[in-house]
Chain A
Amino acid sequence: MTAPAFTLCPYRFSDDPPRMINFLTTLGLARTVSSRSESFAILSGRSGRIAVHSSADSAVGAEPGETRLCFETPDGDSARTYLTSLGLDATIVDEAYGRYLHVSDWHDLRVGLNEEMKDFYGYRRHDRPGRAPRVNVVGVWFHVDFAVPETVLRQLGYVPDPPAAAGWQTFRTAEPSGVVGLHTIGAESDPRRSGVGLSFETAEPPENLVERLHTDGHSDARLGSVRGTTIVLVTDPDGQRIEIHRAPR
């Protein structure tokens, strides 16, 4: 059975959602849905999405600046059928915004799985901008080893890119759905508390992006270097360090 689409959509919990939303827009993402109060929005990249959620309204006790891994799928019933065919215990749960899937086998991993919103009552939909987003969303998943998260990613249809560096492995789907990068952390860390960070890939020249970030008030934006390639480094409004790498051709 082929995996349905599971588009990467990490949740960033912010104590200032409008500033975080503006920052992501400056990076090149496009807002597609937002709440009336601006305490929640979904932004789309060329591949992958990000949800910005007020940390004050968080029902999960998330701290400001915390990111949690989540995916969106077009149809919850199809996703449940697929996950069940893999032997997983998946249940659909209703919430005010729509439905999500609880996969008991992944409970300790904190991997969210939402059905894409169908009822936009209380929310605003935004038109696609004239210019397509040039940014890929990268969810960086820190874990003590690759085995457990790789199993989950493969179940969601993500396959590894050719290896780039020790302790770092990116995964993508055939259709652009965002990028998940596994990053090893020390064995002394609690594997149940594995963390998630945000990163990006862009087709835009890094110098142009730094200039635009400076113009928008992100004065610490600068060029850096990782494994011989130029990247952009900047601190986001929630105080988290963000890396923007060149997108693969």
Chain B
Amino acid sequence: MLTGGARKQQFNVYLPPELVVRIKHLAVDEGRSLSAVVETALAEYLAKKKEGAE
């Protein structure tokens, strides 16, 4: 619950509150930080888009 490990860049976006709650609960279920879960989701989305474009 204290942060400050590996160097990361803060990235502020506006999201529906319900989606924020769902992604936070997923992070709790997976025992991972919110940043790690969002990072995975974005990376997987980008990989999927790239795959579709090829």
A residues engaging B (CB < 8 A)? 11, 37, 40, 51, 53, 57, 59-62, 68, 70, 91, 93-97, 100, 102, 107, 110, 112, 114, 119, 121-123
Contacts and interface: CB of A to CB of B under 8 A. Distances in A.
B20 A53 contact: no
A60 B6 CA distance: 8
A154 to B, nearest CB: 22
A71 B28 CA distance: 22
A60 B8 CA distance: 12
Interface of B: 1-5, 10, 20-21, 24-25, 27-29, 31-35, 37
Nearest to B37: A96
8 contacts: A37-B31, A59-B33, A62-B2, A95-B3, A96-B28, A96-B33, A96-B34, A102-B10
B5 A59 contact: yes
Contacts of A107: 4
B5 A60 contact: yes
A57 B31 contact: yes
Contact of A95 (B5, B21, B25, B33): B33
A96 B1 CA distance: 9
Contacts of A123: 28
